Structure formats: structure tokens, C-alpha cells
Amino acid sequence: MQAHGRSDHHRPDQDGDEPEEREPPRGEARLAIDGAVDDRPHRQDQADHTDGQPTRAVALDLLDTFVPHSYQPYAGQMPTTAPTGPAPGLAAYADVTTSDATLRRFLHGLPGVDQVGAEARAAALGTRSIKTTAKAWALDLAIRMVDLTTLEGQDTPGKVRALASKALRPDPADPSCPSVAAVCVYGDLVGDVKAIVGDAVNVAAVATAFPSGRASMEVKLADTRDAVANGADEIDMVIDRGAFLAGRYLQVFDEIVATREACARADGSHAHLKVIFETGELQTYDNVRRASWLAMLAGADFIKTSTGKVQPAATLPVTLVMLEAVRDFREATGVQIGVKPAGGIRTTKDAIKYLVMVNEIAGDDWLDPDWFRFGASTLLNDLLMQRTKMTTGRYSGPDYFTLD
């Protein structure tokens, strides 16, 4: 990998922002939203910075949203077939998955998604403008959330080793730059990545006949076991969308359960399981909500929008529906599940829109790489360019950073 010299000339932010305003006086937060400026005091019990870096609390304060709540999302009220009471746990839902009929009754009893309202809410959350303190914090957080991905037929051991080196040290010139969350590759290349990153960065492998999911269960499970045996920390499986759309929900449920069992290791631990819906093929937001609940009941550790091979891939409204689902699932069961939008997230501006949505819809518990990821191949370079601009005042061209 070769890095080229930084550019010393100035230019506007990559995401289209104008040059930043002066830093507001200490104790005052200023956030421009749709042309308005919100002035609020910081919480008095929190410091603004630690060692020159924004604290999580201050950044979260700035990430709070001020857009009108014209769309009232599903707030965890379960259909009549679901258990009630405080966080009964997954065992309380055992009867839901005993047959296709009971699972269908449960999934189709979930409240419907207001399509117009969900899209309007997502669009409103996407209008936020974040500057200075919150942006610096968000950039590092977004880098730490990236699943740096290559899933091409032309992938070679050399290519994935180079990607692994980049995942470990995204900006070799700046040791303060954090590593990414994971490197995502095909299962046969897991060992090549693991040799570079060790345990410092997770290694994710796609499995179960990715990207179509159309194969026998024997093939899907062998695919999964091979990736785990090669050292995969995480498995990204795909559901059989044909079965799901045909209403064979129990088949999809059983396949997720079996894949999770195939993630088991000899020491009793298991690779984390991400379940990919391919939301661009699910046709409706109601189906996205149903797939989310089905996967979570089956034991998914993460739910993921897309393979990146179908358009549309990740979108803000689809991710909003999935964030509502994980929030409501935790409220109902006490179990927290992660979310991973993947495909089409290319710029810092895109990433920040998603972070604002996570904070607003699910809450700040999900603002952590353990619970939210970006599946991306080109996003990291843009985050690095923005970070360099904020830390040095100079804008590096895209050729400064190694290619994804």
C-alpha cells in the first residue's frame, strides 16, 4: 500500500458544508437546523472535553434531535398474541414459533408501518447539520463502526491482506485514528485477514450461499461451519427471501436457528450472527418489521439491511423501521440486538444522518460498534478525509489514503 502526500490547499468540506463557524463560547451549544440556531446550555455536571477531545455526553447532547415529531413510531405495544409485562425474556415467546400459523399470526399482528410518516421522519432527521465538537466525536465513532468490506469474485489473498492492514491502521500517519470494527470477506479468505489483524479487529464472513441464499441447508451450514473453523468472529448470513415472501416464516426461522447453532465453537462460545434481509427485495416496510422480529426471535445478534448486491440497499426509512424493531424488542424481552445498514453509504454526511437516527429512534445505547455498524467499502476514505481536515486544517485528496 502506498500513501501519497497530503494537499496543503484548503477547500470546502467533502460533504458540502461551508467553512465552520467559530467555536461557541464555553457552556453554550449552537446547532443549526433548517436554518435555525438552537442555543442550549450544556449540562452543568459534564465537562466539555477530555484531553482535548469531546466527551461522549457532550456529543450526545449535540446529537439530540429538534425536528418536530409529526410521525409517531411504534412504541412497543404488542399485538394481543404477544406476552405483556416487564421484559419477560425470549422464553415468553416460545409459543409464537411453534408453527407457521402461530408465527404468521404474530408477525401479521405487529402494528403496520406508516410509509409516508416513516419516510417523512427519516427525511427530517437527515436535515441535521452538525459542527465542531459533535462532528469530531461522530467521525471517530463512525470509523469505529465500519465493517470494511470486499465481496468480489476477483478478491485475492493479497487484496484482503491489504484491506486488513487498512482496517487496523486506517491512517498510518495518525496513530490516534481508531481501527474499524471488522473486515468482511468471503469465508475462504478469513485466515488471510486474521493473520494481519489477530484479535484487534473482528473478522466477519458471509455465508449461507451469499448473496442469494438459494441452496440446500446442508450447503448453507457447511459454509457457516467452514468460516467459523477458519477463525471468523462474525457470520453474515442471508435469509431465503423467496421463502419469506411466500409466507413460509417457520422455514426462515428454523434456518436462522440452525445457522446460529453452526456458529458454535468447541470452547462453547459462538461467532456472532448477523442476519441479512435484502430489504430491497422485501417490497414493504411491514415486511421489514416482520423480518426483524422473526430474526430476533430466532437468535440473531444483529439484523442487517442488505448484501450490497441489490438496489435499493440501505436507506434511512428502512433503517428507521429496523431501529424501532430492536428498540421495541429490548423493551419486550430485555435482549439488545444490533443493526447494520449496508450498501450505498458512501459519505460522512450519510454516516452522520444514520448516527442521528440511531440516537433519536433507538437511543444512545446503540451508539456503539457492538450495537451499530456500517457495511461499506468506500465510506472509510471519506471519513478519513473529513477527520484530517478537522485535525490539521488541511484537506487531503482521496489518493492520500489507500484504496478500499
Q: Which residue among 340, 349, 353, 389 is the active-site one?
A: 340
Nine cell digits for residue 111: 402494528
The reply to whether 135 belongs to the active site is no
**DSSP conformational letter for 60:** H
CA distance 394 to 41: 31
Whether cis (ω within 30° of 0) applies to the bond prior to 312 is yes
Nine cell digits for residue 254: 428454523
CA distance 28 to 341: 33
Residue pair 275/237 in contact (Cβ under 8 Å)? The answer is: yes
Residue pair 239/277 in contact (Cβ under 8 Å)? The answer is: yes
The reply to whether 236 belongs to the active site is yes
* Cell numbers 469530531: residue: 136
Q: Which residue among 171, 236, 240, 301 is the active-site one?
A: 236
* Largest Cα–Cα separation, the chain: 65
**Where are the strands (E) in 182-334, listed by range?**
182-186, 202-206, 234-238, 272-276, 302-304
Q: Which residue among 166, 220, 274, 304 is the active-site one?
A: 304
The reply to whether 304 belongs to the active site is yes
The residues that are catalytic are: 236, 304, 340
